[in-house]
Amino acid sequence: MTEQLLKVKVHKRQLQGDGVAVIDLVSINGMPLPAFDAGAHVDLHIEPGLVRQYSLCSAPADTQVYRLGILKDPASRGGSVKVHETLIENAEVTISVPRNLFPLAPDAQRSILVGGGIGITPMIAMAYSLQAQGKSFELHYCARSRGHCAFLDELQNAVFAGSVFTHFDDAPETRLDLASVLGQGNDGVHVYTCGPAGFMDWVIATASQQGYSDDHIHREFFQVEVDNTGGAFEVVAAASGKTVQVAEGQTILEALGTVGIKIEVSCEQGVCGTCMCDVLEGEPDHRDVYFTDEEKRANDQILVCCSRAKSKRLVLDI
């Protein structure tokens, strides 16, 4: 599977809230962009070896623009800082076609969207989509303060503004009473969350306590812990004619590096797909959040920064 890439340009860029660049991307030739579904993200190829994922937060029905909201985070590994420096108006950039690992459940009668901080971005596209479908939903936007928030004007003027609720840490009277917002879980209601890991954990734990089943609780994965536990196995790099042992606690990527095989990486968390290799033999133990369940079942590709092997031996086409 080769990632499909698009060249786009920055049509408009606005700084909002506390360090959020709201960036509108359009096609170079004025043609419509590929359609996407709410919850989708694109990979932004910022420079060679630096790929980051950002949710699309524009209305999915609008194929003229992809809007992103990118928080400048100096504590991050450099992606967002570089985006803020380079993605100025009229700058051209390469992106992937949209990919959706966080889709809306088609059968939901009611959706509760809970975004924390910059995690609001996929929720905005979801709100546009649910509104367009005439479906019932609430959007809860939690942030440290009103001043930290991007997208407030847009949300307060949106056609679905009546379904938007804001909650600020510095205004206790606005605090989110999540248990009562969620109510008792039932078949028709789905909850979605995106935001800092601790925030999402809180939403998920509260939803579980309220009786929501796991398949009615949806979360966005952009920051994931790589689980390297599991026994040793052998990896054969068929094209290079080299064989390595992958020890417990070591990644395939690290093991390949010891015999001089370098694989291009970006996120090193199983999120971006950059380190994908074809599998010729053996059964991968997929630990990523990049492949869909169907792609994982095919077992013909692996992300070597995080995944391991269920078989004693994996043969890769590298």
* Subset of residues 257 to 296 that bind ligand FES, contact rule: CB under 6 A: 265-268, 270-275, 288, 290
Could you tell me how many residues of this chain bind ligand FES (CB under 6 A)? 14
Strands 164-168 and 136-143: parallel
Nearer to ligand FES, 57 or 306 (CB): 306
Q: Count other C-beta atoms under 10 Å from residue 32's C-beta.
A: 11
CB 269, min distance to ligand FES, A? 6
What is the torsional sign of CA 203, 19, 86, 91?
Answer: positive
CB 292, min distance to ligand FES, A? 14
What is the torsional sign of CA 287, 291, 295, 299?
Answer: negative
Angle, CA of 307, 309 and 315, to the nearest 5°: 105
CB 148, min distance to ligand FES, A? 29
The residues near 284 (Cβ < 8 Å, ≥ 6 apart) are: 296, 299, 301, 302, 307, 308, 309, 310, 314
When asked if residue 44 is in the footprint of ligand FES (CB under 6 A), the reply is: no
Nearer to ligand FES, 2 or 29 (CB): 2
CB 80, min distance to ligand FES, A? 16
Whether 137 and 71 have beta carbons less than 8 Å apart is answered as: no
Nearer to ligand FES, 152 or 306 (CB): 306
CB 265, min distance to ligand FES, A? 4
What is the torsional sign of CA 279, 282, 288, 289?
Answer: positive
Question: Footprint of ligand FES on this chain (CB under 6 A)?
Answer: 265-268, 270-275, 288, 290, 303, 305
